[in-house]
A and B are shown apart, each in its own frame.
Chain A
Amino acid sequence: MAQPTVLIPDDEATDTVRHARWQDYFQLMKPRVMSLVVFTALTGMLAARTPIHPLLGAVAVLCIAIGAGASGALNMWYDADIDAKMRRTRGRPVPMGLVKGEEAATLGVVLSLLSVMLMGMAINWLAAGLLAFTIVFYAVVYTMWLKRWTAQNIVIGGLAGALPPVIGWAAATGHAPLNAWLMVLIIFLWTPPHFWALSLYISTDYAKAGVPMLPVVKGARETRKQILLYTLVLIPVCLAPVFTGLGGWLYLAVSGLGGLVFLTLALRVFRSTAGDAADPRPADRDLYEVGEAEAKRGKPGQRVVVGDAKHARNLFAFSILYLFALFAALLAEAVLGLKALELLS
């Protein structure tokens, strides 16, 4: 393996040489995204309520995690130019010069092949096929095409992040019924309001990098409207599992209450001016001073959001909690053996 090095600017010693460590290669795999993927895939696997050998279940989850990491590495290779221009991503290993782009690409390809082949041979080829489709969709369709081409990038591309539950379900049962796809639909519809809420308060970063996110192309007002519209579709879809024999009373409570909060926050964003004001931070600084108190609380690299942008940030933060709570409820019901509701029958 090559030994890429980088000069890290430092307050005390400006010539500190930093050598790539194994942790830098691990960072290429986007561990935080990977953890969410593993969680939703595990929920899909257990929600199927079909016994699977614990070791094979663990291998399936491992394959999904490795596949997610592989697509993350391919994304970091291809998007290194964009990542270098954005505050949120410029500390990643490739734009930092810690890992060469070719190495990231190689890691991504090798891990993709390994995860799909292992999934096919150890579990079943339906799960392997779905995993392969997810990797290709994220790395090629989203990263290389949609992301730089259309403001609908995260809407269509969101399918890649939505598929893990059906992969998990297919791993456990060998088939992919409608309830598995309902979990996919929930994540698919959740993605736009989640990412657009984020993009409302970092849209200048996307504009600088030339990424056509919705606030950059259509403006903040249209983005706030789209967030509300997607939320109005998302909430009933999140309630659907209690009609189809997937979710029980616990899920109904979480989905109902969480949905109300989600809708309230989306309405607040819609009525706000979030995203209208330009990011006032100087280009060379990670922290802009918005007042003594906030400046004291802030740390380099941490975002400080003021005014109506707070509504967007609140929605972004709650959206993560909401999705986690929905899947945690399904997971808990499956683990505890709680009966699912079938309100349609």
Chain B
Amino acid sequence: MTRKPVDPATKARSGRNIALGLGLVAFVILVFVVTLVKLGGNVGPHF
């Protein structure tokens, strides 16, 4: 089985998209964690 050579343009675009995706995921996680920290002890007693 032979691999098709990857087009450099596709490879570069793929790299950019992965970086963008990781950035977005990191941002969502960050906002979630910051929310937990900001709410802090106010959340616990209600559960």
The dominant DSSP class at the B interface is helix
Q: Which A1-49 residues have a C-beta within 8 angstroms of B?
A: 1, 3, 5, 17, 19-22, 25
Determine the chain B residues whose CB is within 8 A of the CB of A21 once the complex forms: 12, 15-16
Binds B, one of A51-59, A233-241, A287-295: A51-59
Is A118 engaged at the interface, CB distance under 8 Å to the other chain? yes
Alpha-carbon gap, A309 to B13, bound state (A) = 44
Determine the chain A residues whose CB is within 8 A of the CB of B38 once the complex forms: 56, 122
B17 lies within 8 A of A3 (CB): no
Alpha-carbon gap, A231 to B12, bound state (A) = 47
Number of residues in A with C-beta < 8 Å to the partner? Answer: 18
Alpha-carbon gap, A27 to B28, bound state (A) = 24
B16 lies within 8 A of A22 (CB): yes
Q: Chain A CB within 10 Å — which of B8, B12, B18, B19 has the most?
A: B12
B15 lies within 8 A of A55 (CB): no
B31 lies within 8 A of A3 (CB): no
Determine the chain B residues whose CB is within 8 A of the CB of A55 once the complex forms: 33-34, 37
Q: Chain A CB within 10 Å — which of B13, B18, B20 has the most?
A: B13
Is B9 engaged at the interface, CB distance under 8 Å to the other chain? yes
Instruction: Give the contact-size bracket for chain B.
Output: 10 to 19
A5 lies within 8 A of B9 (CB): yes
Q: Chain B's nearest CB lies how many Å from the CB of A287?
A: 30
Q: Which B1-47 residues have a C-beta within 8 angstroms of A?
A: 8-9, 11-13, 15-20, 27, 30-31, 33-34, 37-38
A20 lies within 8 A of B16 (CB): yes
A19 lies within 8 A of B20 (CB): no
B34 lies within 8 A of A19 (CB): no
B8 lies within 8 A of A19 (CB): yes
B8 lies within 8 A of A22 (CB): no
Alpha-carbon gap, A5 to B20, bound state (A) = 19
Known contacts: A56-B37, A122-B38. The answer to whether A19 contacts B12 by CB under 8 A is yes
Alpha-carbon gap, A59 to B37, bound state (A) = 11
Known contacts: A19-B8, A59-B30. The answer to whether A3 contacts B37 by CB under 8 A is no
Determine the chain A residues whose CB is within 8 A of the CB of B18 once the complex forms: 22
Alpha-carbon gap, A3 to B15, bound state (A) = 12
Alpha-carbon gap, A118 to B23, bound state (A) = 14
Alpha-carbon gap, A21 to B12, bound state (A) = 5
Determine the chain A residues whose CB is within 8 A of the CB of B37 once the complex forms: 53, 55-56
Alpha-carbon gap, A53 to B26, bound state (A) = 19
Q: Which of A1, A5, A20, A122 contacts B34 (CB 8 A)?
A: A122
A17 lies within 8 A of B20 (CB): no
Nearest chain A residue, comparing its CB with the CB of B40: A53
B34 lies within 8 A of A22 (CB): no
Alpha-carbon gap, A17 to B12, bound state (A) = 12
Alpha-carbon gap, A20 to B30, bound state (A) = 28
Alpha-carbon gap, A117 to B35, bound state (A) = 14
Q: Chain B's nearest CB lies how many Å from the CB of A7?
A: 13
B16 lies within 8 A of A25 (CB): yes
Alpha-carbon gap, A81 to B21, bound state (A) = 31
Nearest chain A residue, comparing its CB with the CB of B37: A55
Q: Chain B CB within 10 Å — which of A17, A55, A114 has the most?
A: A55
Determine the chain B residues whose CB is within 8 A of the CB of A62 once the complex forms: 30
Closest 4 CB pairs of A and B: A19-B12, A22-B19, A122-B34, A22-B16
- A interface, CB within 8 angstroms of B: 1, 3, 5, 17, 19-22, 25, 53, 55-56, 59, 62, 114, 118, 121-122
7 contacts across the A-B interface (CB closer than 8 A): A3-B13, A21-B12, A53-B37, A56-B34, A62-B30, A121-B34, A122-B38
